[in-house]
């Protein structure tokens, strides 16, 4: 196995990590990424296989678990009750309960309101100066959708965003001690808000996801308050981060490479959304722990070893997809690991797709002359991949 060296905070890598992925893939399906201190899977078949291999999982093996620093206690409390880092049987129970409340019918019911929201946001675009589309549109659509889904007041959206940004920063390669303290405070504030709101919903049920999560039962079991809060925070943090940058990266790509009206028609929009997610996804790395000694693709993992699954590299593997480095929404959707796979396939994927299927056609229909006002720059936030801003003119 080759040892690979690439700082995830190096400016050229931040702006375009794909040349490194290509070089890494050329050395083998697995490589040892020295900067992360772990084996990484860069090929599509390796990532696909590891996502589904139950000898690997998200939860830290019990004998390796640590208390964590005291100043991170609120953040770690949220993590401890998150569906994202759970494994069976706890994961099975949590996911069933969440899916009982987070149904496709409830997601589809958001569509008319999302359409109205998108038109209202476009109505507010300035027409006489460049503006940041991330702030004016791409961020607003998913965060307001989550507010409506959870049933929390929409005027809480800016505060929820602030908490979310500070918590999600914990997963970035560029995090610092200041990042940790900010994440801990945001976590505690978020916990306090949701604890009070959950109690309010227990007393006065509403037509919202929090009420349905409270009422959901599986074999006589329901979500604890900590699990319910962890689920709500996960839906906001993961859902917001993914959709904001999927929309931003997608619009940026379309404006830089040229776009076709056919892509945005009802018969073409699904293909456009899938190609945006494949071509430049918002999450590039997802990690797993080995749960037993196991040999994969010639490498022997020991229990507790971590492996990085490079989702974006898998999406552009030329062995899995012809002309994988070309943006082509007309191609049949075949290769897309952006929502993960297997047991941990993203529960919010249907909502993210719906938001994009609605937001993109409305944006380009209402703003057919939309153009970039500056070359977009990506944020130093790996293993996420999203723009600092998207300055446009209409």
pLDDT surpasses 80 at 239? no
Segment 140-191, tens digit of pLDDT:
999 999 999 889 999 999 999 999 999 999 999 999 999 999 999 999 999 9
Whole-Å CA distances, 144 to 87, 147, 240, 243, 348? 30, 5, 9, 12, 15
pLDDT value of position 237: 86
Distance CA 383, CA 390 (A): 20
What stretches of the chain show up as alpha helix (H) in DSSP?
Answer: 11-15, 18-27, 44-52, 73-80, 90-101, 104-108, 111-123, 133, 140-150, 157-168, 177-203, 209-215, 225-257, 269-279, 311-315, 349-366
Please give the backbone phi and psi of residue 252, each rounded to the nearest 5 degrees, phi first.
-60, -45
Q: Which two tokens stand for residue 366?
A: 């209402």
CB-side neighbour CA atoms (13 Å) of 39: 24
- For residue 321, name the pLDDT band (cuts at 50, 70, 90): very high
User: In the predicted model, what is the mean pLDDT of the chain?
Assistant: 94
Cβ–Cβ under 8 Å, residues 340 and 329: no
Residue 325 per-residue DSSP state: T
Distance CA 270, CA 357 (A): 7
How many folded domains does the chain comprise?
1
pLDDT value of position 220: 78
Q: The pTM is what?
A: 0.94
End-to-end CA distance of the chain: 50
Please give the backbone phi and psi of residue 83, each rounded to the nearest 5 degrees, phi first.
-60, -30
Please give the backbone phi and psi of residue 32, each rounded to the nearest 5 degrees, phi first.
-90, 110
70 burial (CB, 10 Å; 0-12 / 13-18 / 19+) is: exposed
pLDDT surpasses 90 at 382? yes
pLDDT value of position 236: 86
Give the mean model confidence (pLDDT) for residues 26-41. 97
pLDDT surpasses 90 at 334? no
From the list 365, 372, 337, the residue with the least C-alpha distance to 257 is: 372
Distance CA 168, CA 163 (A): 9
- For residue 335, name the pLDDT band (cuts at 50, 70, 90): confident
Give the mean model confidence (pLDDT) for residues 46-61. 95
- For residue 101, name the pLDDT band (cuts at 50, 70, 90): confident
Which string of b and e fits 127-145 if b means at least 16 CB within 10 Å? eeeebbbbebbbbbbbbbb
pLDDT value of position 324: 96
CATH number for position 51 = 1.10.630.10
Which string of b and e fits 244-267 if b means at least 16 CB within 10 Å? bbbbbbbbbbbbeeebeeebbeee
Q: Which domain holds residue 216?
A: 3-393
Beta-strand pair 30-33/387-389: unpaired
């Amino acid at each position: 196995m080759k040892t690979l060296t690439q700082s995830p905070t190096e400016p050229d890598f931040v702006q375009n990590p794909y040349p490194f992925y290509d070089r890494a893939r050329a050395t083998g399906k697995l490589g040892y990424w020295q900067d992360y201190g772990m084996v990484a899977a860069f090929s599509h078949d390796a990532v696909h296989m590891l996502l589904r291999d139950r000898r690997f999982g998200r939860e830290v093996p019990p004998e390796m678990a640590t208390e964590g620093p005291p100043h991170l206690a609120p953040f770690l409390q949220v993590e401890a009750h998150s569906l994202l880092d759970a494994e069976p049987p706890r994961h099975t129970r949590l996911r069933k309960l969440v899916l009982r409340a987070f149904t496709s019918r409830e997601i589809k019911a958001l569509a008319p309101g999302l359409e109205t929201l998108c038109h209202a946001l476009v109505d507010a675009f300035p027409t006489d100066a460049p503006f940041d589309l991330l702030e004016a549109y791409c961020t607003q659509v998913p965060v307001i959708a989550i507010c409506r889904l959870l049933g929390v007041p929409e005027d809480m959206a800016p505060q929820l965003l602030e908490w979310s940004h500070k918590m999600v920063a914990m997963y970035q390669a560029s995090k610092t001690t200041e990042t940790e303290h900010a994440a801990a405070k945001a976590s505690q504030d978020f916990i306090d808000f949701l604890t009070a709101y959950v109690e309010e919903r227990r007393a006065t049920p509403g037509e919202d996801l929090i009420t349905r999560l409270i009422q959901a039962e599986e074999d006589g079991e329901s979500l604890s308050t900590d699990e319910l809060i962890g689920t709500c925070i996960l839906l906001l943090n993961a859902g917001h981060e993914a959709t904001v940058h999927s929309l931003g990266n997608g619009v940026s790509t379309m404006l830089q490479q040229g776009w076709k009206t056919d892509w945005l028609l009802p018969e073409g929009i699904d293909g456009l959304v899938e190609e945006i997610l494949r071509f430049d996804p918002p999450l590039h790395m997802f990690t797993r722990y080995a749960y037993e000694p196991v040999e994969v693709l010639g490498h022997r993992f020991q229990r507790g070893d971590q492996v990085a699954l490079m989702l974006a590299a898998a999406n552009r593997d030329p062995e899995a997809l012809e002309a994988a480095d070309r943006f082509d929404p007309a191609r049949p959707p075949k290769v897309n690991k952006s929502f993960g796979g297997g047991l941990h396939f993203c529960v919010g994927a249907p909502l993210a797709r719906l938001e994009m299927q609605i937001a993109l056609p409305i944006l380009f229909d209402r703003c057919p002359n939309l153009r970039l006002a500056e070359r977009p720059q990506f944020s130093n936030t790996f293993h996420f991949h999203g723009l600092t801003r998207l300055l446009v003119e209409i």
